[in-house]
Amino acid sequence: MPESFTSTRDALYVHLKLIWNLLEQKAIPGPPHPDTLREFNSHFSNAKQIEKAAEDENGASIIPTTNVSTLKKLQAGYTQSLLACLGMHVWAPDLEDLPDSLYNKACRQVALKSFRQAAMGGAFAYMNIQKNYAVDLGLLIPAYTHFVHYLQANWYNQEKNKDGKFQMDKERKVISKAREQQLPKQYQKVISNLNCHSNNECPQNRVYIIKTLRFWSDTRFRHHEIQ
């Protein structure tokens, strides 16, 4: 991967988190609804049918666009239209199936087409992406596969096989990092609960603890009472 592609790859990852609704720090992707898979499989039997449906912007949608939940609040018409053409209420790859399954190929089509449309429209200009990379499938497909079917699939399987394992692994890494930094034991105890350091989260004692750990930021902890 060329170094100049890094910002475009990062923008793709942001886009994937957005359409997958993985906006919170500890969000883990869920499986597609069984009805979605049945609906999809009843209409498509090969990759050419998927490509035709995704390319034909004036074609008939399998479901009404109003029934698509993905990005509904943002009114992202192009992405929602693509999903409606493929009969998907929600963009949700099947992490228990192969990356090149028919359904997962359709999810990839939607993701990369909607990313290209957003990138060309200037949505990721703030990330200094190079627009020529937004259409380079030779780079985008491996980046997509790595993020969806390796990184996210790994976290999904950890949670599936042992409920909360991914969260516990994160907490262990935080504590290990604190020990490496030789932080005081009482400080290690405070940061051992990762839930206390997530932005905009409120502990039971009704005190916000801002995530500004020493090894994440140069600022100090500040506590704000909730009015």
The Cα 93–Cα 107 span in angstroms is 6
Confidence check: pLDDT of 26 > 50: yes
Which has the closest alpha carbon to 112: 186, 45, 51? Answer: 51
**Cβ atoms 7, 135 nearer than 8 A:** no
Average pLDDT value for the chain: 76
Domain definitions of the chain by residue range: 3-161, 165-225
**DSSP-assigned states of every residue in 78-106:** HHHHHHHHTT-SS----TTS-TTSHHHHH
Residue 184 confidence (pLDDT): 58
Confidence check: pLDDT of 204 > 80: no
Q: pLDDT digits over 30-69, tens only?
A: 899 898 899 899 999 999 999 888 887 666 677 767 667 6
Confidence check: pLDDT of 137 > 90: yes
**Cβ atoms 18, 24 nearer than 8 A:** no
Of 91-95, 125-129, 152-156, 212-216, the range with the lowest mean pLDDT is: 212-216
Residue 39 confidence (pLDDT): 87
The Cα 90–Cα 96 span in angstroms is 17
The full length of the chain comes to 227
Residue 146 confidence (pLDDT): 97
Confidence check: pLDDT of 102 > 90: yes
Confidence check: pLDDT of 24 > 70: yes
162 or 204, higher pLDDT: 162
Q: What percent of the chain has pLDDT over 70?
A: 64
Place of tokens 């516990």: 168
